[in-house]
Amino acid sequence: MARKKDTDSEDALLGIGLLALLGLAINAAVKAQKKAKENDVPYVIEEDGILYEISPNGNRKKIGTVKNPRYPITESEFKF
């Protein structure tokens, strides 16, 4: 049984590490998007497998598609 307990704690640590990395990646994406808006630089978002370039004035232009998006994140999920 001691071996099972070690494996469980290792799995928990791995899960915590993965969540921390995911949090850092999302935070970096949000900061980059905010900086792009502040500096009048267009940025790219993905919605329902379609890539859009968002210009500083808010205009949206389709620039491509993504096959099988795994983690769709939309602009409406971020509030500045």
pTM for the full predicted model: 0.48
Q: Give residue for tokens 């999920």.
A: 77
Q: What percent of the chain has pLDDT over 90?
A: 12
User: 16-32: per-residue pLDDT in tens?
Assistant: 988 999 999 999 888 88
* Angstrom distance (rounded) from CA 55 to CA 6: 51
User: 60-73: per-residue pLDDT in tens?
Assistant: 999 988 776 566 66
Q: Measured between alpha carbons, how far is residue 64 from residues 6, 13, 19, 27, 44 in Å? A: 46, 38, 29, 24, 10
* Angstrom distance (rounded) from CA 72 to CA 57: 24
